[in-house]
Chain A
């Protein structure tokens, strides 16, 4: 806004006779926008609107759709799998916070303190992030295998082998550990940019005032990263609440529904049970809950600015 060189229409010119002139003047501006607007309507807004609509319909590709009122929603609330899925999703989100959330924060502070080989450490931490998902699944299925490397390590330490994937107590932990391995590097880089942007003189001044290393981290580094940490936390909550791909690829929601997340249940309703209506209703419910989280984020952000 208000940049130099920007041509504005003076208000007095906006008479109806000039309308055509205005349109002609902006013809190419609108033509440039047209493809994007059409594509956004056709492939985002139409599906979103259809989502709201289809949740009240029974979808039948052959005989056409029939309006069923709230039946889909009633089915959702009577399906015990839905409650299992909600519980599993919350458990999964909790695990990603306990196992995964703090790792990139600690790693970014530690790597920022490296005097040598900092670039190498960054590359090594980020490298798993570029490993394609399907390779990740094949790789970690073997890592977790009863005769794989992790159990090899455990047996050399004298611990009994653990079947990480097929034991329902371990399966979700195994997935979260695998995903942390793959994804923490990208979060680490984001935090690292934050850590490195803290002016060094602050540490200098704190040291002269007699602050120890730990109190410098506690009173300078962490407070400077505060808003970034909150942002990353909200992004992680939004992201992990929709997770299903690893659960689907590694375990198909098993063993005994232990890794059946909410989004995976949507997929299963649609493509296993072929009940697209109920799947859409589940999606709508998710949309409502996540919008509330989004609103909360917006409110928190606003408070942050007003402080």
Chain B
């Protein structure tokens, strides 16, 4: 991209024509409207969490709070046992991540580097599952977990976390990109396969593990439906499930407290996104290019 001339579809001389200037101005205005539309609901949630309940319910609504009631956040924190649900979500996240890196990391390393006989058949066996629509086997999946006696345990998340063909593909593509000479040198020096995985592949794979960690984090943080089916006891609910059951579906609850809780739940993923935004947005575009 660096060698290309400094222009897009429009060149500088286009922008000197009055009609183009007007259209360009309208386009910029359109983007501004879009940005406001994107940010408004997010900021509204934050500011509503700071208003008094009475002020939230006034019509027509106004954007900024008249008084800043920080105590809403304290009340929201105590409304349901947020720390416990948070702990469960982090528990699911860490288990899923470890499982993904262990199971899929080893498997993709083997497919990419070790090339055992019939590795193409095994590769095909794993990739085939990408084409099977998830909701068509959602119910048998649930029944299967019940048959295995995994309902209401975190193993119902951890073990199936190792069955993601998409993450497998991401890691395999990454390992394919590492220079084979490195592994060849290690092999000549007498390193075993285990050693060359732990000592060479894993340290080189920090970027792909970070990408996976972000994906798995957002999965564990956002998924409310599947945990609400699999988990029965309240002390095991993940954060999103608990919010769905006790906040979204709450009949009598102060709107201001509700918004304070929603805001607190929204902050960690937004924070993660803003910190890693370059990294995340690059992997979003890459995932499309690779298909």
Give A residues with C-beta under 8 Å from B.
Answer: 3-7, 9, 22, 26, 28-30, 32-33, 35-37, 39-40, 42-48, 50-51, 54, 59, 61, 107, 109-114, 120-128, 130-135, 137-143, 147-149, 151-152, 155-156, 181, 185-186, 189-190, 192-194, 196, 199-201, 203-204, 207, 213, 216-217, 220-221, 228, 231, 238, 241-242, 244-245, 248-249, 263, 266-267, 270-271, 276, 279-280, 283-284, 286-287, 290-291, 294
Q: Which residue of B lies closest to A112 (CB)?
A: B8
Complex contacts, B285 vs chain A, CB 8 Å = 189-190, 192-193
Beyond known contacts A149-B44, A204-B7: 12 more, CB 8 A cutoff: A5-B181, A48-B137, A113-B24, A127-B273, A131-B42, A134-B222, A134-B248, A200-B7, A231-B291, A263-B135, A276-B143, A291-B131
Would you call B76 an interface residue if the criterion is a C-beta within 8 Å of the partner chain's C-beta atoms?
Answer: no
Q: Which residue of B lies closest to A275 (CB)?
A: B139
Within the complex, which residue of A33, A124, A143, A216 is in contact with B110, where a contact is CB–CB below 8 Å?
A: A33
Give B residues with C-beta under 8 Å from A.
Answer: 1, 4-5, 7-11, 13-14, 20, 23-24, 27-28, 30-31, 34-35, 37-42, 44-45, 48, 57, 59-61, 102-104, 106-107, 109-111, 114-117, 119, 122, 125-126, 129, 131-144, 146, 148, 159-160, 162-163, 168, 180-181, 183-184, 192-194, 197, 218, 221-225, 229, 240, 243-244, 247-248, 255, 258-259, 262, 265-266, 269-270, 272-274, 277, 281, 284-285, 287-289, 291
Contacts A28-B193, A200-B7, A266-B138 given; does A238 touch B266 at CB 8 Å: no
Q: Decide: B265 and A142 in contact? CB cutoff 8 A.
A: no
Nearest-neighbour CB distance to chain A for B221, whole angstroms, equals: 6
Q: Which residue of A lies closest to B59 (CB)?
A: A147
State the CA gap A174–B4 with chains docked (Å). Answer: 43
Within the complex, which residue of A138, A241, A245 is in contact with B248, where a contact is CB–CB below 8 Å?
A: A138
Complex contacts, B104 vs chain A, CB 8 Å = 36
Within the complex, which residue of B40, B116, B135, B146 is in contact with A149, where a contact is CB–CB below 8 Å?
A: B40
Q: Decide: A216 and B42 in contact? CB cutoff 8 A.
A: no
Q: Pick 6 A–B contacts, CB within 8 A, sort by A.
A: A29-B110, A126-B273, A133-B223, A193-B288, A249-B244, A286-B133
Q: Decide: A199 and B37 in contact? CB cutoff 8 A.
A: no
State the CA gap A240–B260 with chains docked (Å). Answer: 31
Complex contacts, A22 vs chain B, CB 8 Å = 117
Contacts A127-B270, A190-B285 given; does A283 touch B160 at CB 8 Å: no
Q: Decide: B1 and A196 in contact? CB cutoff 8 A.
A: yes
Contacts A5-B180, A40-B125 given; does A213 touch B59 at CB 8 Å: no
Q: Decide: A36 and B248 in contact? CB cutoff 8 A.
A: no
Contacts A29-B114, A44-B129, A221-B9 given; does A201 touch B160 at CB 8 Å: no
Within the complex, which residue of B13, B160, B218 is in contact with A43, where a contact is CB–CB below 8 Å?
A: B160
Q: Which residue of B lies closest to A9 (CB)?
A: B117
Contacts A6-B115, A51-B139, A137-B248 given; does A200 touch B4 at CB 8 Å: yes
Q: Decide: A138 and B247 in contact? CB cutoff 8 A.
A: yes
Contacts A132-B266, A147-B57, A200-B5 given; does A242 touch B143 at CB 8 Å: no
Contacts A35-B103, A147-B57, A185-B38 given; does A30 touch B116 at CB 8 Å: yes
Q: Decide: A135 and B265 in contact? CB cutoff 8 A.
A: yes
Complex contacts, B39 vs chain A, CB 8 Å = 124, 127
State the CA gap A284–B265 with chains docked (Å). Answer: 36
Q: Which residue of B lies closest to A51 (CB)?
A: B140
Nearest-neighbour CB distance to chain B for A47, whole angstroms, equals: 4
State the CA gap A28–B195 with chains docked (Å). Answer: 11
Q: Decide: A40 and B126 in contact? CB cutoff 8 A.
A: yes
Nearest 4 pairs between A and B by C-beta?
A: A36-B107, A193-B285, A29-B114, A28-B193
Complex contacts, A241 vs chain B, CB 8 Å = 133
Nearest-neighbour CB distance to chain B for A37, whole angstroms, equals: 7
Q: Which residue of A lies closest to B183 (CB)?
A: A5
Q: Decide: A287 and B136 in contact? CB cutoff 8 A.
A: yes
Within the complex, which residue of B4, B59, B143 is in contact with A50, where a contact is CB–CB below 8 Å?
A: B143
Within the complex, which residue of A113, A186, A217, A291 is in contact with B284, where a contact is CB–CB below 8 Å?
A: A186
